[in-house]
Structure 1
Amino acid sequence: MEQLPLSILTLTKKELGNSYSAYLKYAPVFTIILLLISATIIFAVFKKVQKFSTPKFTKSTWIIIVVALLLTFLINFITVPFMKSSNENVEALKLVGNNNMFILIAFTIFVAPILEEIIFRGIFMNWFFVNNPLLSVLFSGLIFGYVHAPFNADTDWIYALSKILLGIVLAAVYYRTKNIKADISVHFLNNFLAVLAGALTSGVILL
């Protein structure tokens, strides 16, 4: 449900021919509409499955966020040099970027951190293994990695491992803080810095 709106923007001029210009005009509108519908449903489910009240941010919360962010840096620093130059997830995002760069950047930096954390942490961890936090954290990370890099013969296992480890870190943040905004913050900063690094590498400065 979270990925479906973005998939609308993965078609190419080669596939659409003369209809491509109309597609570029209307596809972003349908993407945004579908995204709003999906987000509303996802958020409504989350509000029902989280049975405890969300505590406010404290000094301890910020310390956990900082530690988690440092761990994400370490994960990326160790794994990125060993990843393949591309994979299915990256290629799909490139197609979206070719059709609408604004939506891709907005989705990567803002939408994905919010909706993915609500789904993989806020919903999953309140539905499954509620009485076994270790399993809840581990399986949340495993499924998060699988969704980003489905396991098959062509899987970039280093990329998959990086996503699994990132998912585990984010799940641990949610478990320790009991505040979905904490892991959203870590996810947001991770994605923002990744987009910024990619832009700087390609010679484009994002402001």
Structure 2
Amino acid sequence: MNNTKNTYHPIKVILHIIAFLALFLMEQLPLSVLTLTKKDLGTKYSSYIKMAPLVTLVLLIIAATIIIWTFKKAQKFPTLSFTKSTWFIIILATILTFLINIVTLPFMRSSNENVEALQLVANNSMIILIIFTIFVAPILEEILFRGIFMNWFFVDHPLISVIVSGVIFGYVHAPFSSNTDWFYALSKILLGIVLAGVYYRTKNIKANITVHFLNNFLAILAGAVASGVIFL
């Protein structure tokens, strides 16, 4: 991501891997609080449904603060200002993500683990799900998978960094197994690669956040038909 060669330190790489995994778990934790059901909790469900949204928001504030602080430390190059070229890249990337969704959607399963987890959140708090989908996910996922990952790993090999960022992004949305919806996974991998490419080309995290936001917003508009398969 920058013009200076980085010295390879195995211990530093290991520490970055551990830190990245910890940050990912931290980013996932707030929404996971809202995935319990009445069947799981029984008579405690009414108390849970009152407290869980508040706990989710508190955890989100903590996670966002730490992730954003880490990103500011990780990015070593100056953020470039938005230009006409930046907006052109954003528009082009948004069109690409839309096409990726259109091409892969007909081959996806009607549901998968990610969609089912989101449905559990929707049952407990639709408002928080919408907030996470439109605003939180584009910001924190881009900071984590692009802003932090691409400044910690394969810094001197941008093509590898872009591809690996996309593959990992796809994996966390659709873990690879014998039961994986591979077209859903492919859509997330390609989306991640496009977003990583935007960050690399623009040197501004707000550019790929904008593309991610537009992807999710357009998906929500089409979500009544697609049952929410595309977004997040």
The answer, yes or no, to whether TM exceeds 0.5 is yes
Where does residue 174 of structure 1 map in the other structure? 199
User: Among residues 194, 199, 204, which one is paired with 2:219 in the alignment?
Assistant: 194
Where does residue 70 of structure 1 map in the other structure? 95
Residue-by-residue CA offset, 1:120-155 (whole Å, 9 max, x unaligned): 000000000000010000000000000000011110
User: Among residues 156, 164, 171, which one is paired with 1:146 in the alignment?
Assistant: 171
Residue-by-residue CA offset, 1:67-104 (whole Å, 9 max, x unaligned): 10110011011100000000000000000000000000
Where does residue 21 of structure 2 map in the other structure? none
Give the whole-Å Cα distance in 2 for the aligned partners of 1:82 and 1:90.
Answer: 15
Instruction: Quote how far apart the aligned CAs of 1:200 are.
Output: 6.8
Where does residue 27 of structure 2 map in the other structure? 2
Give the whole-Å Cα distance in 2 for the aligned partners of 1:157 and 1:178.
Answer: 31
Give the 4+ runs in structure 1 shifted more than 6 A: none
Identity fraction in percent: 75
Question: Secondary structure of 2:185's partner?
Answer: helix
Question: Secondary structure of 1:152's partner?
Answer: coil
Give the whole-Å Cα distance in 1 for the aligned partners of 2:116 and 2:224.
Answer: 17
Give the whole-Å Cα distance in 1 for the aligned partners of 2:29 and 2:224.
Answer: 25
Q: What RMSD, in angstroms, separates the aligned Cα atoms of the two structures?
A: 1.0
Q: Given the two structures, how large is their TM-score scaled by the length of structure 2?
A: 0.86
Residue-by-residue CA offset, 1:144-176 (whole Å, 9 max, x unaligned): 000000011110000000000000000000000
Q: Does 1:161 align with 2:186?
A: yes
Where does residue 29 of structure 1 map in the other structure? 54
Give the whole-Å Cα distance in 1 for the aligned partners of 2:129 and 2:203.
Answer: 29
Q: Given the two structures, how large is their TM-score scaled by the length of structure 1?
A: 0.96
Q: Name the aligned partner's letter for residue 97 of structure 1.
A: A
Give the whole-Å Cα distance in 1 for the aligned partners of 2:72 and 2:133.
Answer: 23
Gapped regions of structure 1 (runs ≥ 5): 203-207
Give the whole-Å Cα distance in 1 for the aligned partners of 2:47 and 2:101.
Answer: 39
Question: Secondary structure of 1:86's partner?
Answer: coil
Output aligned runs, 1:46-125, within 5 Å: 46-125=71-150
Question: Secondary structure of 2:81's partner?
Answer: coil
Q: Name the aligned partner's letter for residue 120 of structure 2.
A: L
Question: Secondary structure of 2:27's partner?
Answer: coil
Instruction: Quote how far apart the aligned CAs of 1:3 are.
Output: 1.0
Give the whole-Å Cα distance in 1 for the aligned partners of 2:64 and 2:226.
Answer: 32
Instruction: Quote how far apart the aligned CAs of 1:196 are.
Output: 1.8
Give the whole-Å Cα distance in 1 for the aligned partners of 2:226 and 2:143.
Answer: 31
Give the whole-Å Cα distance in 2 for the aligned partners of 1:174 and 1:201.
Answer: 28
Output aligned runs, 1:38-53, within 5 Å: 38-53=63-78
Give the whole-Å Cα distance in 2 for the aligned partners of 1:199 and 1:123.
Answer: 34
Where does residue 205 of structure 1 map in the other structure? none
Give the whole-Å Cα distance in 2 for the aligned partners of 1:63 and 1:117.
Answer: 19
